Chains A and B, each alone.
Chain A
Amino acid sequence: MLLIPCPFCGDRDETEFAYGGDAGTERPADPGAATDEAWTDYLCFHDNPKGPHREFWFHRDGCRRWLTVERDTHTHELGAVRLSRP
């Protein structure tokens, strides 16, 4: 079980968080202008690397901030943890 250093709350157990998936893709600013293919890409296709991964975690049972976390998917080593909204 991970120990995630929340910038607000300190080191907290993973059970207090909700996983929010890949933080590496950005929502198209104008979805209407996106082709079907580009939109499907955004919706469905995400990298699933073995190694460093940037992802969202939500401190659901804490400060209710969305965090952007760097995590190695192989070793679970955590890198930078910051607020998604600066």
Chain B
Amino acid sequence: MRRQPFRAAEGGHLIDRSEPLRFDFDGHRQEGYRGDSLASGLLAAGVRIVARSFKYHRPRGVWGFGSEEPGAMVATGVREEVRPNLKATEIELADGLMAFGQNAWPSVAWDLGAAVGMAGNVLPAGFYYKTFMWPPRWWLALYEPVLRRMAGFGPAPSAPDGAFYAKRRMHADVLVAGGGPAGVAAALAAARAGAKVVLADENVRFGGGLLRAPGEIGESDGLAWIDAAIGELEAMANVRLLRRATVTGYYDHNLLLVAERAGGDAAPGTPETRLWFVRAREAVIAAGAHERPLLFAGNDRPGVMSASAAGGYAHAYGVLAGQRAVIAGNNDSIYAVARLLRGAGVSIAAVADARAESGARDLPCRPGRTVERALGSRRVRGALLRRTDGRAGDRSERIACDLVAVAGGWSPAVHLHTQARGSLSYDEERGLVLPDRPGGANRSAGAAAGRFDLDGCLAEGWAAGVAAAAASGHERPAGEPPRSPDRVAGDAPVFWRIGAGKQFVDLQYDVTAADVELAAREGYRSVEHVKRYTALGMGTDQGKTSGMAGLVLLSEAIGRPVARTGTTTFRPPYTPVPMAAMAAGLIGEGRDALRRTAADDWHEARGAVFTAAGLWRRPSYYPREGMDEEEAISAEVREVRAGVGIVDVGTLGKVDVQGRDAAAFLDLVYANRISTLKAGRGRYGLMLREDGRVFDDGVVMRLGENHFYLTTTTAQHHAAMQHMEFLLQTVWPELEVYATDVSEHWFAAALAGPGSRALLGEVAPGLDVSDEAFPMMAVRAATVAGLSALVFRMSYSGELSYEIAAPADHGLALWTRLLTAGREHGLTPYGTEAMGVMRIEKGHVTHAEADGRTTPDDLGLGRMVNAGRRSIGRRSLDLPALCRKGRQQLVGLAVIDPEARIPPGCQVAERDDMRPAAPLGHVTSFCYSPTLGRAIALALVENGRSRIGQTVYVASPVTGLAMAAEIVPPVFYDAEGTRLRG
């Protein structure tokens, strides 16, 4: 047999016959040409069953031509990298393409699930809601596994997607959605007017309806005119053309989303999909229209297809969708399709026109008749024709055929118009849902606005382009709109169905006319509810072909005019957008900017293990030969507590606050008083949210009368900065204060440990480091290691400690000079893990404790709070809920077994039996304390301070682990603070 038995000897403007391609479908080798879609390749090869339907597993063939395709769902690629839920009509054939029909096991031709279809009425409308409700335990055991096998869509890939995806942003004066005659005319008018134009079309070639059927523009071939116009646009600097690019979403303030299938075989090295975010001053919606089906028994059989698609396969690909065709419809397009098919070599068995008066002498016409039933089981073998006027005694005519091409009229693609909140109207006479009042800066033109004649599309497109250019500030373009002799309106009376039997409305989700009527009988009135109940239009085609039929059926069933039934809401996306494209830039490496402190190069050279702190990376610990992680961290802790260590604290937020009212402002921002600080001194500061919960903490240093330098935590820095700017700009605009983020300007390192004073004295010879001259919480400007620096004596570790800040450009020099000078002092670099261990030993809180629910008193910081009630959050602390008894309070937990280690996510329980009970509280921070030789934790425990001395259980219900611990005060180490004084 010939490789492509259904390929005509000539013709096909999209294919290149000099380049044959091999592809594989359901394990069978096939052949097509460069330019083919998978659908045209399969039709050329004679493959008629392409997929199985969602619910009944009925065979599905190719119905449509492009993104409206409801039935031919396939997956491409092999197991790990499979791409499911694709439309065969939208896949460009590539050499070596592997594709599989969907919803079928073991294959589309022999599918076990089809037994469900034979069982018939066991799965009526709403079957999910009725059948699978009770008993609930059956769901997991029975329903779900069965449904997953039977009713799922394609398989999910098991490996990460190797392709790459991209996002781009663009501004335009005019975005034209759709590159058919109307869209191209609009783009031409707007571009000639000087507007910055983007023209996007979902096909590989511009032309819209002219891809499917020939037409005449300006006394030449329509496609030739389109090509010339595209050539002119391509040469203009103010125009960007996007092929294979679907405008899928219309969002607020004229932001439009365009999904461009950029990559693949045709353009190696480009992203698979490129998502364009286009902010357009004006939009022209020239998205075309979708051909409607006719309803008759067996209208879902492979071989029944859209008439314009059947014509399109002949015209664009030189592919015959059948050898002998019955063409049925309710409008004049059937005659053109019949002649097109006949010209390509299809024998025309009958042309059935539902209208009594029409006819054509050169074709085997059956006026006043339509298809009552498609014959054949796995594919069409014939059709029964019957009178449409229902005259009694009429016998059906049986005609053998392998193609039934149906033309039910056109539904304008009003999706983008309604996404922009435009209103719709229903033209009863023409049976069309049409765009009415636009909801954004847009206008619909051509078939999308209900104009189906070529001349009208060109005129409307041109006018829309002129208007859009004018609205975005451009003069009227020179020239006149192109004209076409094609002025046939192509209107169709509303005609939907005849006969009985299983008539499919939604081919993808297997929704029949009977399902819609059943929903109406069961009391559904809203079209939105019927959609959800029957799943009509909920497939990947979003009901492009089925929506109108469903609407008319429901209106008839409930006896209400179509105009009052209304349509379902059209939501983005217009066509499916790969999740990977939406995730582009939001996952993986490069998602966020990586912030490195000035000393980062040193940490890396030293082999530090890094941890993420917001966008920063910080050394978590420095691995040591022969030690595991816990041992290395414990060694860092011991060496700090016994000698001297250094830690990079460059990631802390730093804010410079100046101005006449700076002190007054800080009194309002912090819960404790700042204005009483003397210049040259600092203080721990506690920031609350207005609702009284602890928000952030840090150190405030007074450098001068009206000059402060304060730190925030690494995590909350941006929020704290925004908070202060909010207060200054909206609550107290009268205050003269300037708060400047200087986090990037300063690097900082802390020296900690009993040996820190001696080391500092050595590197800062001009600085008197004695306890009397440089007391706790004092700040000094000094030259440290030859560099100008601010030195602040404070402690986070519980040891004698100095924080040294230098301009960021000097940060690495400061760090390395301190390390060099510290060699003789046994200076140990330590990371965030050791820092965390020491702060837990000292009971300092972080955001694990200040978790957005805790008050200062909960954390044992109540005495810091200012008595006055003006500062942010202070008033809330007096609300009954925040000072009631029984709140959780910060305590320490000392685990009794020295060998035990606390897993993450532990609760604090009164018993160790793991029986469900409300916990007393939860562990907020935990570590192994090398200083105490056991695991310790901080925890928030109900009435915790009154429970000190009690034994409780640190319990991890998910691992079944529980260990006894004693509740102790949260400061485990040097509670008197004698070590701070050195």
The CA-CA distance from A51 to B928 in the complex, in Å, is: 56
Scan residues 238-256 of chain B and give those whose CB is less than 8 A from a CB of chain A: 251-255
The CA-CA distance from A31 to B871 in the complex, in Å, is: 9
The CA-CA distance from A75 to B876 in the complex, in Å, is: 36
Q: Which of chain A's residues have a CB closer than 8 A to the CB of B729?
A: 65-66, 83-85
Given contacts A39-B879, A43-B691, contact A64 B725 (CB under 8 A): yes
Q: Which of chain A's residues have a CB closer than 8 A to the CB of B931?
A: none
| Shortest CB distance B37–A (Å) | 33
A 40-78 to B, binary, CB cutoff 8 A, 1 in contact else 0:
100100000000000010101000111010000001100
Interface contact B731-A27, CB-CB below 8 Å: yes
Q: Which of chain A's residues have a CB closer than 8 A to the CB of B725?
A: 58, 64, 66
Q: Which of A2, A65, A66 sits near B252, CB closer than 8 Å?
A: A2
Q: Which of chain B's residues have a CB closer than 8 A to the CB of A56?
A: 726, 730
Given contacts A31-B875, A32-B868, A39-B876, contact A84 B253 (CB under 8 A): no
B 707-750 to A, binary, CB cutoff 8 A, 1 in contact else 0:
00000000000000010011011110100000000000000000
Asked if B231 CB lies within 8 Å of chain A CBs, one says no
Q: Which of chain A's residues have a CB closer than 8 A to the CB of B436?
A: none
Asked if B479 CB lies within 8 Å of chain A CBs, one says no
Interface contact B722-A18, CB-CB below 8 Å: yes
Asked if B933 CB lies within 8 Å of chain A CBs, one says no
Asked if B874 CB lies within 8 Å of chain A CBs, one says yes
The CA-CA distance from A39 to B725 in the complex, in Å, is: 23
The CA-CA distance from A32 to B869 in the complex, in Å, is: 5
Residue on B with the closest CB to A65?
Answer: B729
| Shortest CB distance B911–A (Å) | 37
The CA-CA distance from A35 to B209 in the complex, in Å, is: 70
Given contacts A43-B691, A85-B729, contact A36 B880 (CB under 8 A): yes
Q: Which of chain B's residues have a CB closer than 8 A to the CB of A31?
A: 869-870, 874-875
Interface contact A34-B252, CB-CB below 8 Å: no
Q: Which of chain B's residues have a CB closer than 8 A to the CB of A66?
A: 725-726, 729-730
Interface contact B722-A40, CB-CB below 8 Å: no
Q: Which of chain B's residues have a CB closer than 8 A to the CB of A80?
A: none
Q: Which of chain B's residues have a CB closer than 8 A to the CB of A65?
A: 729
A 1-26 to B, binary, CB cutoff 8 A, 1 in contact else 0:
11100000000010000101001000
The CA-CA distance from A84 to B729 in the complex, in Å, is: 6
Q: Which of chain B's residues have a CB closer than 8 A to the CB of A30?
A: 870
The CA-CA distance from A64 to B740 in the complex, in Å, is: 11
Interface contact A32-B870, CB-CB below 8 Å: yes
Asked if B630 CB lies within 8 Å of chain A CBs, one says no
| Shortest CB distance B93–A (Å) | 37
Residue on A with the closest CB to B880?
Answer: A36
Interface contact B252-A1, CB-CB below 8 Å: yes
Interface contact B870-A85, CB-CB below 8 Å: no
Asked if B95 CB lies within 8 Å of chain A CBs, one says no
Asked if B690 CB lies within 8 Å of chain A CBs, one says yes
Q: Which of chain A's residues have a CB closer than 8 A to the CB of B868?
A: 32
Interface contact B722-A60, CB-CB below 8 Å: yes
| Shortest CB distance A2–B (Å) | 6
Interface contact A2-B253, CB-CB below 8 Å: yes
Q: Which of A1, A23, A43, A83 sits near B690, CB closer than 8 Å?
A: A43
Scan residues 858-889 of chain B and give those whose CB is less than 8 A from a CB of chain A: 868-870, 874-876, 878-880
The CA-CA distance from A32 to B878 in the complex, in Å, is: 10
Residue on B with the closest CB to A1?
Answer: B255
Q: Which of B726, B733, B875 sits near A20, CB closer than 8 Å?
A: B726
Q: Which of chain A's residues have a CB closer than 8 A to the CB of B874?
A: 31
Q: Which of chain A's residues have a CB closer than 8 A to the CB of B254?
A: 3
Interface contact B870-A84, CB-CB below 8 Å: no
Interface contact A86-B252, CB-CB below 8 Å: no
Asked if B817 CB lies within 8 Å of chain A CBs, one says no
| Shortest CB distance B392–A (Å) | 55
Q: Which of chain B's residues have a CB closer than 8 A to the CB of A76?
A: 252-253
Interface contact A34-B421, CB-CB below 8 Å: no
The CA-CA distance from A64 to B254 in the complex, in Å, is: 25
Interface contact B879-A3, CB-CB below 8 Å: no
Residue on B with the closest CB to A42?
Answer: B690
| Shortest CB distance B516–A (Å) | 32
Q: Which of chain A's residues have a CB closer than 8 A to the CB of B251?
A: 1
Interface contact A36-B879, CB-CB below 8 Å: yes
Residue on A with the closest CB to B726?
Answer: A66
Residue on B with the closest CB to A18?
Answer: B722
Given contacts A58-B722, A75-B421, contact A85 B730 (CB under 8 A): yes
The CA-CA distance from A5 to B825 in the complex, in Å, is: 59
The CA-CA distance from A62 to B878 in the complex, in Å, is: 38
The CA-CA distance from A42 to B654 in the complex, in Å, is: 31
| Shortest CB distance A75–B (Å) | 7
Q: Which of B252, B255, B722, B876 sits near A43, CB closer than 8 Å?
A: B876
The CA-CA distance from A16 to B421 in the complex, in Å, is: 25
| Shortest CB distance B724–A (Å) | 11
Q: Which of chain A's residues have a CB closer than 8 A to the CB of B421?
A: 75
Q: Which of chain B's residues have a CB closer than 8 A to the CB of A13?
A: 279
Q: Which of chain B's residues have a CB closer than 8 A to the CB of A40?
A: 879
The CA-CA distance from A1 to B415 in the complex, in Å, is: 18
Interface contact A39-B255, CB-CB below 8 Å: no
Interface contact A85-B728, CB-CB below 8 Å: yes
Interface contact A85-B733, CB-CB below 8 Å: yes
The CA-CA distance from A39 to B728 in the complex, in Å, is: 21
Interface contact B869-A3, CB-CB below 8 Å: no
The CA-CA distance from A80 to B728 in the complex, in Å, is: 21
Given contacts A32-B870, A39-B875, A43-B876, contact A3 B279 (CB under 8 A): yes
Residue on B with the closest CB to A86?
Answer: B733
The CA-CA distance from A23 to B729 in the complex, in Å, is: 12
Residue on A with the closest CB to B875?
Answer: A31
The CA-CA distance from A20 to B254 in the complex, in Å, is: 24
Q: Which of chain B's residues have a CB closer than 8 A to the CB of A20?
A: 726, 730
Interface contact A84-B730, CB-CB below 8 Å: yes
The CA-CA distance from A56 to B868 in the complex, in Å, is: 28
| Shortest CB distance B852–A (Å) | 15
Residue on B with the closest CB to A30?
Answer: B870
Residue on B with the closest CB to A31?
Answer: B875
Q: Which of chain B's residues have a CB closer than 8 A to the CB of A64?
A: 725
Q: Which of chain A's residues have a CB closer than 8 A to the CB of B255?
A: 1, 3
Count chain A CB atoms within 10 A of each CB in B728, B875, B876 and give the residue with the most. B875
| Shortest CB distance A68–B (Å) | 8
Q: Which of chain A's residues have a CB closer than 8 A to the CB of B728?
A: 85
The CA-CA distance from A31 to B874 in the complex, in Å, is: 9
The CA-CA distance from A66 to B879 in the complex, in Å, is: 30
Residue on B with the closest CB to A68?
Answer: B730
Q: Which of chain A's residues have a CB closer than 8 A to the CB of B253?
A: 1-3, 76
Interface contact B875-A32, CB-CB below 8 Å: yes
| Shortest CB distance B24–A (Å) | 42
Q: Which of chain B's residues have a CB closer than 8 A to the CB of A34?
A: 875
The CA-CA distance from A34 to B421 in the complex, in Å, is: 44
The CA-CA distance from A83 to B876 in the complex, in Å, is: 29
Count chain B CB atoms within 10 A of each CB in A18, A30, A43, A64 and give the residue with the most. A43
| Shortest CB distance B416–A (Å) | 16
The CA-CA distance from A43 to B693 in the complex, in Å, is: 13
Scan residues 364-390 of chain B and give those whose CB is less than 8 A from a CB of chain A: none
B 687-707 to A, binary, CB cutoff 8 A, 1 in contact else 0:
000110000000000000000
Q: Which of chain A's residues have a CB closer than 8 A to the CB of B876?
A: 39, 43
| Shortest CB distance B120–A (Å) | 47
The CA-CA distance from A83 to B691 in the complex, in Å, is: 26
Residue on A with the closest CB to B741?
Answer: A64
Residue on A with the closest CB to B721?
Answer: A64
8 sampled A-B residue pairs with Cβ under 8 A: A1-B255, A18-B722, A27-B690, A30-B870, A31-B869, A34-B875, A76-B253, A83-B729
B residues sitting closer than 8 Å to A (CB atoms) are 251-255, 277, 279, 421, 690-691, 722, 725-726, 728-731, 733, 868-870, 874-876, 878-880
Q: Beyond the given A1-B251, A56-B726, could you list 16 further A-B residue pairs with CB under 8 A, ordered by the A residue number?
A: A3-B253, A31-B875, A32-B870, A39-B876, A39-B879, A40-B879, A56-B730, A58-B722, A60-B722, A65-B729, A66-B725, A66-B729, A66-B730, A68-B730, A76-B252, A85-B729
Instruction: List the 4 shortest-distance A-B pairs measured between CB atoms, nearest first.
Output: A32-B869, A31-B875, A85-B733, A3-B253
